[in-house]
Amino acid sequence: MKHGTKTLLALITAALSTAALAQPKTTFSIANTATWGSKNYNPFTPAASHLPPTLSAIHETLFYVNALDGKVTPVLGTKYTWSPDNKTLTISTRPGVKWSDGKAFSANDVAYTFNLIKANPALDLTGIWKNGVASVKATNPNTVAITFSKVNTPLFYYVAHLPIVPQHVWSTVKDPLTYTNENPVGTGPFVAEAYSQQAIRVLKNPNYWMKGQPYVDAVAWYSSTGNDASLLKMLKGETDYGYIAIPNPKTDYQAKGPNFQYWWPVNNVNALYFNTTKAPFNDPAFRRAIASAINTKDVAQKAYAGVVPAADPTAIIPSQQKAWKPATAASLAPRFDPAAADKALTAAGYRKNAQGQRLGKDGKPLPTLKILVGAGWTDFITMGQVIGNNLKPLGINTSIDQQVFSSYSGSFQTANFDMGVSWGWGSGPTPYNLYYQSFAPEFSAPVGKTAASNLAHYTNPALTKAIAAFSTTSSVAAQKQATSTMVTTVLRDMPWVPLTARVGFNVYNTTRFTGFPDDDNAYNDASAPDTVGARLMFLNVKPK
């Protein structure tokens, strides 16, 4: 009997200690601003379809390229070199790395992953195989050679960020497109643990290749339905981090105490896009005149209460200006000058009639021009109102056209708008990504068809040539030359007016953890917690 009690006690102790083990000691908690779908850790499905930890905690990439300044952080790749003709990219892979199931990682896994998305074009979300890659081979267990049929050096950004999956697991998968990878095997600092509609948790990978890191035992994401609900979690101190766009982080968050902090680095722009497929916006002279009538400083001040600055007229973000902004840009950029705008319009053939209305080239008064914004997006609506007030003295009437999200984006993409406020539909480690995705002819489309990202539906042969020139060299000097042409061409033609900066939305609480990225230590680009860059934050945050 006594023996029996002892066994029972031992059993209970064992059960209790396993239960205690199951609760991680330090959990880094994230307020997720959205809900998520079903259990899916397939890294090749679009970001909204797979769970937040997929790219940021479980699967790793070859490198991390910081979109703010282009700095490259080695991950599974340790070093990369371009051949002299830029047609071969040789990548050394990290030795001694193990998959979370204990098997060794090698260059073969990298080659396998690239060829997997070649065999399944639906998985190739960044167009790696469509944009010049011809073959990917492991030349030895620690080296991968990527050959290109056409030179495309900026593609490195996407090559670097392709999530690498284990060959020994994925080679048995029948349909990788619909595979939900419920027990993911990765090389990342964390392994999947709990999943529900309310929260997701990943635990520290004890065999992670970086010794001593991560410092936290677990990362947990808590779902909510929007910014307000997430902010509430942050204000209550329930979570340590959130990627939350709030109207004024200074008063709404930072003012609550010294541990309530935010880091909102500029990573993109908001711009006024002109529909260059229709009059009067098809006339560069008209667009330039409008541009010089808009007071972008006032737009930024009114829309973001001084938290977000006005955009640079070239749309190049501050962290890239030193390296990439051409010296000639300043003289070409439109200056806010209503009187000059008025004269320029008249000179271009748009006269004013006796009632002060601006006339089109056909002599009839211009119709009321609509400014397309998202329904209820107060920042964009404010921008539209300031622009409307700026254009009124020129005799141009405007109205704000609010559309729900899907028709907002659809109207832009099918060229069914006059002018509209949207963000830069492209971003990356150099201004190339923004200019390429915003103005390349292949991302435009005829009116009525969906353009991928060229919202202004604007092309210019000189610009197209410069884009090609940039992508076919690995010489920074030549790329600077090409950037200069892109920037000056766009400044002359003004298919858009960059209005305000656009920022990342890191909101965090230093009560429990330190080591968050900020201006002094910008080791990532304020990456959202489901993206490649967030992994660096999870590796660097330290319990106090």
Partner 1 sequence: MPYLLRKFGLLLFTLWVAATLNFILPRLVPGDPVGAMMARYQGQLSPDAVEALKIAYGLNNQGSALQEYFAYLGRLLQGNFGVSTSQFPTPVTQIIGQAAPWTIGLIGITTVLSFLIGSAFGLYSAWRRGGRVADALPPLALFLNSMPYFWVALVLIYTFALKRNVFPVGGNLDPFLEPGTAQWWSSLIRHAILPALTIIITAAGGWLITMRNNVMGVMAEDYLAFARAKGLSERRILNRYVLRNALLPSFTAFGMALGFVVGGSILVETVFSYPGLGLYLYNAVTALDYPLMQAIFLFIAIAVLVANFLVDAFYVVLDPRVRDGKGS
Q: Which is nearer to partner 1, 410 or 543 (CB)?
A: 410
Q: Which stretch, 36-44, 68-76, 166-174, 334-342, contacts partner 1 (CB under 8 A)?
A: 36-44
235 binds partner 1 (CB under 8 A): no
Written as one letter, the residue type at 169 is: V
Question: Applying CB under 8 A, which of residues 10, 37, 183, 297 lies at the interface with partner 1?
Answer: 37
Q: Which stretch, 38-46, 206-214, 314-322, 329-337, contacts partner 1 (CB under 8 A)?
A: 38-46
Beta bridge partners, 93, equal 77
Contact 538, 28 (CB under 8 A): yes
183 binds partner 1 (CB under 8 A): no
In the three-class reduction of DSSP (H, G, I as helix; E, B as strand; rest coil), residue 483 is classed as helix
Beta strands in 390-532, from DSSP E residues, in sequence order? 398-403, 419-423, 496-503, 506-509, 513-514
Beta bridge partners, 513, equal 543
Label each residue of 204-257 as H, E or C: ECCCCCCCCCCCCCEEEEECCCCHHHHHHHHHCCCCCEEECCCCCHHHHCHHHC
| Smallest gap from residue 151 Cβ to partner 1 (A) | 17
Closest C-alpha to 155, from 266, 94, 105, 80: 80
Backbone phi, psi, residue 137, to 5°: -135, 145
Report the alpha-carbon distance of residue 277 to residue 503 in Å, rounded.
30
Q: Which is nearer to partner 1, 346 or 531 (CB)?
A: 531
142 binds partner 1 (CB under 8 A): no
Binding mask 521-540 for partner 1 (x = CB under 8 A): ----------x---------
| Smallest gap from residue 237 Cβ to partner 1 (A) | 13
346 binds partner 1 (CB under 8 A): no
Report the alpha-carbon distance of residue 290 to residue 419 in Å, rounded.
11
| Smallest gap from residue 434 Cβ to partner 1 (A) | 8
194 binds partner 1 (CB under 8 A): yes
Summarize the chain as % helix, strand, coil (round to 5): 35, 20, 45
Return the H-helix or E-strand segment holding 146.
strand 143-148
Sign of CA dihedral 489, 493, 495, 501: positive
- Give the number of residues written for the chain: 544
464 binds partner 1 (CB under 8 A): no
The pair of three-digit structure tokens given for residue 454, joined into one six-digit string: 């060229």
Q: Which is nearer to partner 1, 55 or 539 (CB)?
A: 55
Q: Which is nearer to partner 1, 234 or 366 (CB)?
A: 234
380 binds partner 1 (CB under 8 A): no
Question: Applying CB under 8 A, which of residues 7, 35, 83, 328 lies at the interface with partner 1?
Answer: 35
The pair of three-digit structure tokens given for residue 368, joined into one six-digit string: 């009321």
Contact 215, 208 (CB under 8 A): no
Binding mask 435-454 for partner 1 (x = CB under 8 A): --x----xx------x-xx-
Question: Applying CB under 8 A, which of residues 251, 321, 353, 405 lies at the interface with partner 1?
Answer: 405
Question: Applying CB under 8 A, which of residues 346, 407, 464, 481 lies at the interface with partner 1?
Answer: 407
Binding mask 241-280 for partner 1 (x = CB under 8 A): ---------------------------x------------
Return the H-helix or E-strand segment holding 372.
strand 369-374
Binding mask 202-221 for partner 1 (x = CB under 8 A): ------------------x-
- By the criterion CB under 8 A, which residues form the site for partner 1? 35, 37-38, 40, 42, 45-49, 121-127, 130-131, 158, 177-180, 194, 196-199, 201, 220, 222-225, 229, 232, 268, 404-414, 416, 423-427, 434, 437, 442-443, 450, 452-453, 531
